[in-house]
Structure 1
Amino acid sequence: MGSGLFKFPIAACRAGFWPKYHQTVQPEYTNKLIDRAALPRLRASLRQQGLTLAHCHGCFDIVHPGHIRHLREAATLADRLILTITPDRHVNKGPGRPVFDEGLRADNLAALSFVDWVLINDQPTATALLEAVAPDVYVKGAEYAHNNDPRFEQEREVVERCGGRVVFSGDDVVHSSTALVEALRSMSEQASPESGLMALAHLHDLRTATLNDILRRAAGKRVLVLSESIMDVYAHCRTPEVAQEHPMLSLCPDREDHFDGGGAIIARHLAAMGLDVTLCTPIGTDPDSLAFIKRLDGSGIRIEPLPCDLPLPRKVRYLVDGEKMMKIDSSTRYTLDESTADSIVARIRSSGGYDAMVIADFGLGLFANTLASRVITGARDQLGMILGDVSGRRAQLGEMRGADVLCPCEVELRQMLNAESEPLSALVSRAIEITGAKALCVTRAADGMQIYDQQHGVHTMPALCRHPVDVLGCGDALLTAMTAALLGGGNQVQAGYLGSLAAAIEGETRGNLPVSSRAIIERAQQLAAQLALGHAAQPSPVISAEPKPAQEVLR
């Protein structure tokens, strides 16, 4: 196949196909770059010569072997091949995408010898463009053969109405730019956590003094926590036995430790970090609930009770020699009046508003009947920022529409979107579209955290807990430290680092205990010293860009 309908620039100029990105001196392939105005004459010229046209459309962000095979096969199905690409503003593959802007993507494709023309579409889909191109063959990847995407169905209808046919390229090798980006990101994550942290520290101010200033500025900020409260019980048992009545585990508790959980520990974390905290939570009149009120009052936390007749939920974990053997969840399920959301909004307004609201859904029924989204909508103008998190299969992350920052774990995000194998960045993009969140911070256990910020892209924060003892409450500690950091003027990376430090402290402690600002700063100092020692012990690289030493970027 030739390189194009018009081989020389002067011929292209006379025919009206002068490239959109013309420069005084340019490679010949840039003559393949056309705009939409050229399509009617191009199509008429091809018909006059009896030449057929194949058309491929896509993002083509990172051109990989799968793309080359797909396009090369498309080129064999007609006399000429035109490619159209999605413009930057309509690429919906998650934060940080596209990797290459539309001009570079168009240049890359035009450099392929079997491609005749490249056009940047100005619409989110190819439907309208297909009317103008009217291809004889519209070629899609094999993955679309069984795809029910309504956007593709619209494209198929246009192609067939214009007399063309849809063909799917061979499926011997299927690649994905999104999967490739995820694989590269995963390879980066598998490098030492220290190297990942040092890379972040070189781009963001993670010095201990800066972090201390951030937390100090957060002190006194008013925060409302809207959540269910829980009593976490650790029942320490003797050596387990097999019951005589039936082959089942038999445990005999010797003692119990009780910890505040759910919204209560979030409130206690925030109070320990020096913030002015109000907890809005369902409260009954049972002895556990009355003791709970007294205990939180002693921590300086105001309670806005949502009256109910149910006891304080208990989650009991049975341990043997410090190892968790079994968990029994609470059977409590709140069924609150439809007017609860309006009541909460009225309380927020009467209080004069808050610098932030933290919503945490533990799946016990408080957030049924769209309570979260109704409170967010009704009180948005009274809240400086809104952060949210969920825990448990019954929690509803999708109901937190309008929150600024959401902090789910990857498992919770996949459950919400019913997607087990989809790349994480694609899930985040869908979640942001559903909730309207400005940022998603997705925790991934030992793999750390991915911070997806719509303004500043994607950042990977390594896990900082080296010797985990008990992961209960790590997500709550992370959420609250991030809240404090953002209220203190920190950016998402600084907030993520402080949150990860708080989670590491919590993870090395058995049970749910409040994490203070002082403890976070002490951990930051320890980590900075460790990294400085490790950095000093490493041999100097052969080629160096003279980076700042570890003690300067973290201390």
Structure 2
Amino acid sequence: MKNEKLVGLEELQKIVSDLKSDGKKIVQCHGVFDLLHVGHIRHFKAARKFGDVLIVTVTPDKYVNKGPHRPAFPEKLRAEVLASLGVVDYVAVNKWQTAVETIKLLKPNVYVKGSDYSNADEDFSKGITAEEKAIKAVGGEIKFTDEITFSSSNLINKHLHVFPKETEDYLDEFSKKFTSKQVIDYLEKIKNLKILVIGEAIIDEYQYGQTIGKAGKEPIVALKYIETERFAGGTLAIANHLANFCDNVGLFTLLGEKDSQADFINKHLNKKVKKYFHYKKNAPTIIKRRFLEAAPLKKLLEFYVFDDMELEPAQARELCGHLEKILHEYDLVIVADFGHGMLNKDLINLISRKAKFLAVNTQSNAGNMGYNIITKYPRIDYVCTDEREIRLASLDKNSALEALIKNLSKKISCGKIITTTGPLGCIIFSSNGLVKIPAFSEIVIDTMGAGDAFLSITAPLVATGVPMEIIGFVGNAVGALKVKIIGNKEPIDKVALYKYITSLMA
């Protein structure tokens, strides 16, 4: 049976308009309400006292910014539960990310939030400030209730078992050592770091198709073409991630002299990033073209469009000369070495000597397998890598990973290493020993670029002396957000990360 309290936004707009014409005072509450609890009910009862009619709008699923495991309940169920409350008169699912446009549409007399929103300075999304401006613009006022508060995130984490027990136990112990505010404060402190990203620019191209069967005369799979998407990858993606957290990001990268893709790159690179572009002679900008089954998302084949030969000596000297002039300007240098010919021995030695703080990832991929290992860097302050790259650098396929990490630390004289281990999470190594942190990602759409995102956000934290366990926790949170994004379609959003951290530690 349809609940007549459940209405669409446009229908609710007409209802509100008619009620106001009859002299009724309209009160609006808005939120996710992912797990209804006594705090919500008291909030609604208190809000109802500010007027005659209480309407509640609900954040739609696609905009619930609390991490990959949320919402626990879909929007229709959340709205249905709210509509079953006697204190609530009407419920509608919002269609925007925030309540701002909804307030402008409905024009309530009073907009009500809980006491935890009363201090706008503590709202890192700045949403309450925008909502207060919106309600005043339509002639209304904002009010705050002062009722008992509970955390839906805490209740969901503790009682709905959205994570495996190992992860639940870890989060419980981690939350006893640190608060979400401490973690977020550390992330805020990287804002003014001057960071230089060095490495190849890559265009990631996804060509989607639908399998239609085996080709008639060849032993190959045939697909019906659907569409193509292109993303700014490689160091372009790293710079974009960083620009969401830091105000001073430089990118020293190599494009191709022919087919440079410069227009695409300039369009998709954050405007805050300072560009130091060089162009490899007689070579294209690197494109990694992947062919995918669209649904379910499966990669089938990959082409590399690139020239992976080392730079000509004259051009290598040109890059060295340019780097020598700018390295001293940056507090942190992040090298993402994809092994496609940009970083020769002279450039590596220069960066290792001159960088104030050096973070490095050397990626092993189909284009350089076994030839691009971390030991070619004579000095590194922080290594961010994965298990396969540790084993390649150690020439050891079977030994315990923990032992290999310790041995590699001695070999390259690097005291801080984080090794990502896919669905198992990561292992952090420092002078305090080894600590394993389980993964937070229950939903994986696409793993491409997850390591680059992990490196991007953890390197500034290491450079500023943040405790390594916090860094590993943040890295895993970043990874969990990234694997829900197809390719490098969008960078890690700061507000989304902060909300996810808050949700994990509730």
Q: TM-score with structure 2 length normalisation?
A: 0.62
Aligned to 1:357: 333
- Deviation at residue 220 of structure 1 after TM alignment: 2.6
Distance in 2 (alpha carbons) for counterparts of 1:405 and 1:285: 32
| Residue of 279, 294, 298 corresponding to 1:324 | 298
The reply on whether 1:503 has 2:475 as its aligned counterpart is no
Matches for 1:152-551 after TM superposition, within 5 Å: 192-203=166-177, 205=178, 207-296=179-268, 298-308=270-280, 309-320=282-293, 321-332=295-306, 333-338=308-313, 343-351=318-326, 352-369=328-345, 371-377=347-353, 379-380=354-355, 383-392=356-365, 393=369, 394-453=371-430, 455-512=431-488, 513-529=490-506
Q: Give the match's secondary structure for 1:421.
A: coil
Q: Structure 1 residues 299 and 234, CA, compared in 2 at 3 Å: closer, same or farther?
A: same
Distance in 2 (alpha carbons) for counterparts of 1:360 and 1:387: 6
Runs of 5+ consecutive residues of structure 2 not aligned to the other structure: 1-163
Distance in 2 (alpha carbons) for counterparts of 1:328 and 1:335: 22
**Are the counterparts in 2 of residues 315 and 327 from structure 1 also a CA contact under 8 Å?**
no
- Deviation at residue 373 of structure 1 after TM alignment: 3.5
Paired letter, 2:456: T
Q: Give the match's secondary structure for 1:319.
A: strand
Q: Structure 1 residues 279 and 391, CA, compared in 2 at 3 Å: closer, same or farther?
A: farther
**Are the counterparts in 2 of residues 341 and 374 from structure 1 also a CA contact under 8 Å?**
no
- Deviation at residue 488 of structure 1 after TM alignment: 4.7
- Deviation at residue 385 of structure 1 after TM alignment: 4.0
**Are the counterparts in 1 of residues 249 and 274 from structure 2 also a CA contact under 8 Å?**
yes
**Are the counterparts in 1 of residues 240 and 491 from structure 2 also a CA contact under 8 Å?**
yes
Paired letter, 1:456: N
Q: Structure 1 residues 467 and 398, CA, compared in 2 at 3 Å: closer, same or farther?
A: same
**Are the counterparts in 1 of residues 232 and 268 from structure 2 also a CA contact under 8 Å?**
no
The C-alpha deviation readout for 1:359-412, integer Å capped at 9, x for no partner, is 1111212234364234212x14xx234343424224221112311111111011
- Deviation at residue 475 of structure 1 after TM alignment: 0.6
Distance in 2 (alpha carbons) for counterparts of 1:427 and 1:489: 24
The C-alpha deviation readout for 1:495-528, integer Å capped at 9, x for no partner, is 1111111111001111212102222101111222
Q: Structure 1 residues 325 and 425, CA, compared in 2 at 3 Å: closer, same or farther?
A: closer
Q: Structure 1 residues 337 and 353, CA, compared in 2 at 3 Å: closer, same or farther?
A: farther
Paired letter, 1:337: E
Q: Structure 1 residues 296 and 223, CA, compared in 2 at 3 Å: closer, same or farther?
A: farther
Paired letter, 1:411: R
**Are the counterparts in 2 of residues 221 and 487 from structure 1 also a CA contact under 8 Å?**
no
Aligned to 1:171: none
- Deviation at residue 288 of structure 1 after TM alignment: 4.9
Paired letter, 1:231: I
Distance in 1 (alpha carbons) for counterparts of 2:432 and 2:496: 29
Distance in 2 (alpha carbons) for counterparts of 1:465 and 1:334: 37
Runs of 5+ consecutive residues of structure 1 not aligned to the other structure: 1-189, 530-555
Q: Structure 1 residues 306 and 516, CA, compared in 2 at 3 Å: closer, same or farther?
A: same
Q: Structure 1 residues 439 and 433, CA, compared in 2 at 3 Å: closer, same or farther?
A: same
- Deviation at residue 452 of structure 1 after TM alignment: 0.8
Paired letter, 1:390: Q
Aligned to 2:153: none
Distance in 2 (alpha carbons) for counterparts of 1:209 and 1:445: 27
The structure in which a higher percent of residues are strand is 2
**Are the counterparts in 1 of residues 284 and 305 from structure 2 also a CA contact under 8 Å?**
no
- Deviation at residue 250 of structure 1 after TM alignment: 1.7
**Are the counterparts in 2 of residues 470 and 511 from structure 1 also a CA contact under 8 Å?**
yes
Q: Give the match's secondary structure for 2:378.
A: coil
State the superposition RMSD in angstroms. 2.3
**Are the counterparts in 1 of residues 288 and 305 from structure 2 also a CA contact under 8 Å?**
no
The C-alpha deviation readout for 1:90-148, integer Å capped at 9, x for no partner, is xxxxxxxxxxxxxxxxxxxxxxxxxxxxxxxxxxxxxxxxxxxxxxxxxxxxxxxxxxx
Task: Give % identity.
Answer: 22
Q: Give the match's secondary structure for 1:223.
A: strand
Distance in 2 (alpha carbons) for counterparts of 1:450 and 1:509: 23
Matches for 1:69-80 after TM superposition, within 5 Å: none
The C-alpha deviation readout for 1:140-186, integer Å capped at 9, x for no partner, is xxxxxxxxxxxxxxxxxxxxxxxxxxxxxxxxxxxxxxxxxxxxxxx
- Deviation at residue 314 of structure 1 after TM alignment: 1.3
Q: How many positions carry a matched residue from both structures? A: 335
Paired letter, 1:216: E
Q: Structure 1 residues 435 and 292, CA, compared in 2 at 3 Å: closer, same or farther?
A: farther
Q: Structure 1 residues 514 and 191, CA, compared in 2 at 3 Å: closer, same or farther?
A: same
Q: Give the match's secondary structure for 1:422.
A: coil
Distance in 2 (alpha carbons) for counterparts of 1:285 and 1:307: 5
Q: TM-score with structure 1 length normalisation?
A: 0.57
**Are the counterparts in 1 of residues 241 and 492 from structure 2 also a CA contact under 8 Å?**
yes
Paired letter, 1:199: E
- Deviation at residue 236 of structure 1 after TM alignment: 1.0
Q: Give the match's secondary structure for 2:423.
A: helix
